[in-house]
Structure 1
Amino acid sequence: MGVVTFPGSLDDGDAARGVRLAGGDAVRLWHADPELYGVDAVILPGGFSYGDYLRAGAIARFAPVMETIALAARDGLPVLGICNGFQILCEAHLLPGALTRNQHLHFRNRDQWMRIEAVQPVWTNAFTDSQEILIPVKNGEGCYVADQHTLDELEANGQVVARYINGNPNGSLHDIAAISNSTGNVVGIMPHPEHAVDLLTGPSVDGLGFFTSVLKFLAGVPADQGATT
């Protein structure tokens, strides 16, 4: 599984660790190199790519590696964007909507409860429907916004992957914490599952399910055998 590093990435090492703890091989990918080196899935990690100049993710979307990822994603490559990675996916139009400044205008860093709203074959097959999980959130521009038509489509098509519960940390519309594209292979999530893969370093191991899910999908394990977390 490929993990991309942009200038300003902070959580690429943590994402690679999550892949390894789930039993996968992490391949480090560089923003300026368009080659994906045969990886079966890609993670765009959290951080502040290119210093978040202009807008968060606005410059990263033009990185050479993103041109390759965008083409591969449209052909079905599994892609997970975490926090800044979610912002990049929206800027690249691989996901609808946008991430804007937190409604309260403060950076928010805390452990956050969320509910899995869509058990999809690629990134959430290890969870159960409506499962509540605890994952850290840390963002200043994590407020998900979209026009009403887009929000209605996301809800109707089961593309809201996870929703904040017990408090909305950033003001996201419909309490949205994660969404997918229409085919489910591309997911953006604002909380950080890579920081919830080991009880030594996180509040839970709930985030590990995102990594085990894609590995099971790639291995061809049926979804009904994947709900283990």
Structure 2
Amino acid sequence: EKVYSKDVEISCQIDQKEFYSYETALVKCKIKNIGNTVLKNLNVCFESECSKTNLGIVQENNFNYTVEKPVAGIQESIFKVKNIDVSKAEYIEYTVLDKPEIKINEIEAPNEVEYIDQFKISFLLSKESNSIPENVEVTLFQNNFEKTWTVKEFPEDRKFVINLLGKNLKKNVNEFNIVVKYEDGNGKSYETQENFFINLTNVTLIQNVLLVFNQFVLFVDGLV
């Protein structure tokens, strides 16, 4: 007497085990009838996306699904095949990365300085994302002054301290700009910036002439 068996084999693969929240991944699933009778009215579901199919003896069917997850972290999707006779499930694990983010915090600078002063400015770059920003370029701009730092990877917060001279400023209000450019693992570019002001006060007539000369020297140095 022939014994009838009803069984189904399932398998799934995802094309990216790790991807950013703005990306999508492709999941390919395969089901195969490994019994010796036709499987009818199979309910095939990937998460909430479902379809019905029949599966002949040793027949295979392939299913493709798009994974799009805006929430970062370790995620899991479920692929299920079920009817009144069989029930199988496979769990697909993957990691969704958030977009890299750097913030400029704790800017410390004097409100006023004089021509003869030496002073410091500092700021903290904070890593605000779980994913690691890459190819980071930090630039401080002020008049004809420009200083740049480059960091290949930015796994943790970092403080920057710069020594400056009052004689390299211009009379009255000086605007400073901090510009941070960086990328994610795909080479996608991001940028953030902040500014602050320092006032050069009590400038004498002679110092005023020297300031013009100093700014010219800084400008020429910047061209070299």
TM range (shorter): under 0.3
Higher relative contact order (CA 8 A, sep 6+): 1
TM-score by length of 2: 0.19
Q: Which has the higher strand share?
A: 2
TM-score by length of 1: 0.19
